[in-house]
């Protein structure tokens, strides 16, 4: 796990109050390389989210590139975490990464994949884009 991701997961673990966790998550949406709404298409849409969520993932010189956008702040924040996790990382590194790290944030009410705010679906999109 990269250092920046470790840091934010540590930070989440230190925050006890759930509302403060959300405030922190809200700030993380700033870390996201925005995918402008003009570039939102059916192929960028993430299904299974209550919000409109779009991501674009590609590989440039062996490094994973991630951009995303969502109309719900929490989803944008979750994309921010994924961005920190994968953007600029090697394909091999991202291939080895499993989505379970999100549990450390303490944000999930349910571990059922379909109830994870589309997080798993967004993460799966990354995996598909790198040919997994």
Partner 1 sequence: MVVPRTDFPILNREIHGKKLVYLDNAATTQKPKVVIDAMNNYYENYNSNVHRAVHLMAGEATDSYESCRTTLKNWFNAERAIFTSGTTEAINLAAHAWGKENLRSGDVVLMTEMEHHSDIVPWQLLADDLDIELRYIPVKEDFTLDLEAFDASLDGVKLVCIVHTSNVLGVRNPIEYVIEKSHSIGAKVLIDAAQGVPHKQIDFEKSGADFMAMSAHKMMGPTGIGALLVTEEIFQSMRPFMGGGDMIQTVTLKGSTYQDNEHKFEAGTPKIAEAIGWKAALDYMANIDLEAEHSRLVEIAKWTSSQLEDLGATIYGRYSEQDAAVVSFLFDNLHPEDLAHYLDAMGFAIRTGHHCAQPLLERLGVKGTARASFYLYNTMEEAVEFIEAVKYVLEKFG
Region from 1-9, 66-74, 87-95, 123-131 binding partner 1, contact rule CB under 8 A = 66-74
Q: Does 15 bind partner 1 (CB under 8 A)?
A: no
What is the Cα–Cα distance from 132 to 128, expressed in whole angstroms?
A: 5
CB count, 10 Å around CB of 81? 25
What is the Cα–Cα distance from 17 to 132, expressed in whole angstroms?
A: 37
Q: Does 108 bind partner 1 (CB under 8 A)?
A: no
Q: Does 72 bind partner 1 (CB under 8 A)?
A: yes
Min dist CB 115 to partner 1, Å, is 12
Q: 110 CB contacts (<8 Å, ≥6 apart)?
A: 116
Using the minimum distance from each CB to partner 1, give the nearer residue, 37 or 50: 50
Nearest to 105 by CA among 10, 2, 3, 4: 10
In the complex, the residues that contact partner 1 under the rule CB under 8 A are: 18-19, 21-23, 26, 49-52, 71-75, 109, 117
């Amino acid at each position: 796990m990269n250092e920046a991701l470790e840091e934010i997961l540590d930070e989440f673990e230190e925050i006890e109050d759930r509302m403060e966790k959300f405030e922190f998550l809200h700030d993380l949406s700033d870390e996201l390389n925005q995918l402008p709404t003009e570039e939102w298409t059916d192929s960028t849409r993430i299904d299974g989210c209550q919000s409109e969520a779009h991501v674009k993932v590609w590989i440039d010189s062996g490094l994973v590139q991630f951009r995303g956008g969502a109309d719900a702040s929490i989803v944008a924040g979750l994309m921010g975490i994924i961005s920190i996790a994968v953007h600029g990382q090697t394909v091999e590194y991202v291939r080895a990464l499993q989505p379970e790290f999100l549990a450390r944030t303490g944000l999930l009410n349910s571990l059922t994949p379909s109830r994870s705010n589309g997080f798993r679906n967004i993460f799966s999109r990354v995996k598909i884009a790198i040919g997994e």
